[in-house]
Amino acid sequence: MPPIAPAKPKIVVVPRELTKTEEERQTIVHCTLTEPMAGGFMLIRIWPTTFLIQSDGTRKKMLWFEQIAPFPHWLPVLVPHTFTLIFEGLDRDCSVFDLVEEIPQEGGFEVMGIQRNERDVYRVRL
């Protein structure tokens, strides 16, 4: 039996204008809770009014979160506990920003003066 020749690959030419896409950018913030309440646990939740605020006042909205409950629900966790927040990408000229959870009561998360890095992945303690 003669050997089977492999099929020739098909070459598809994609017009240049179809390959131009905007780079998707996101900013990831890993937050660690370090101060336990009585019994070593606490209840946590994140409000949709949580933003990254650039030094020029521009707000970047939260796109996703993990290991924390969305308002109005609560998640009981043992401390220390780390959760992740994913935001829209920061503007290219941004060098410093704040993490602010704007809520109509006390106790919102707030970390001021976070220095920008090349990877746009951050670790903060709350």
pLDDT digits (tens, 9 = 90+) for 33-83: 987 666 778 899 999 999 999 999 999 999 999 999 999 999 999 989 999
The gap from C-alpha 107 to its chain's centroid, in whole angstroms, comes to 21
92 φ, ψ (degrees, to nearest 5): -60, -30
pLDDT at 16 over 70: no
Q: How far lies 54's CA from each of 44, 58, 88, 124, in Å? A: 25, 5, 12, 16
Question: How confident is residue 21, by pLDDT bands cut at 50, 70 and 90?
Answer: very low
| DSSP symbol at 20 | -
Q: Is 85 exposed, middle or buried (0-12, 13-18, 19+ CB in 10 A)?
A: buried
State which amino acid sits at residue 98. Answer: D
* Contact between 83 and 65 (Cβ < 8 Å): yes
**Could you give the CA distance from residue 86 to residue 108 in angstroms, rounded to a whole number?**
17
